[in-house]
Amino acid sequence: MKMSNIPFGITNWDSIEPTEHEGDTGKALWRTQQFDSIRVRMVEYSPGYRADHWCEKGHILLCLEGRLETELADGRKFVLTPGVSYQVADSAEAHPHRPRLGRSCLSSISRGNATPARA
């Protein structure tokens, strides 16, 4: 990921108006900033949220609080807890997001805009 045309700046995530995104169950609140071709989001999932798609977009994802289960298309499962991250390239391994044990709050960095892949 090459970062260019981004001057030094700070982001107060509490000041960014969230947008609501429905899942198969529950909802996700996205606070999004775009820096050139880099999209950075802080996402908060409601308890019971289940993604309505398999994502094929690359991410660097850091769990800030809660617990997030990610299942890959081949059946492997990974659990993120606060301070744990994952990274995956574009079109590498499809993955939905499924928070567990209450709400989860995550920071996600990707290039451009995500394009969901339907299951």
Q: What is the mean pLDDT of the chain?
A: 81
Q: Which of 72, 100, 67 is nearest to 84 (CA)?
A: 67
Say if CB 42 and CB 63 are below 8 A apart. Answer: no
Residue 97 token pair: 């997001």
Give all domains of the chain, ordered by start, each with its CATH number: 37-113 (2.60.120.10)
Neighbours of 84 (CB within 10 A): 13
> CB within 8 A of 108, min separation 6: which ones?
39, 40, 41, 42, 43, 59, 60, 61, 62
How confident is the model over 87-102, as pLDDT tens digits? 888 888 877 766 654 4
pLDDT tens for residues 41-71?
A: 999 888 888 888 887 888 888 888 888 888 8
| DSSP character at residue 73 | T
pLDDT attached to residue 118: 38
Q: What is the pLDDT of residue 99?
A: 60
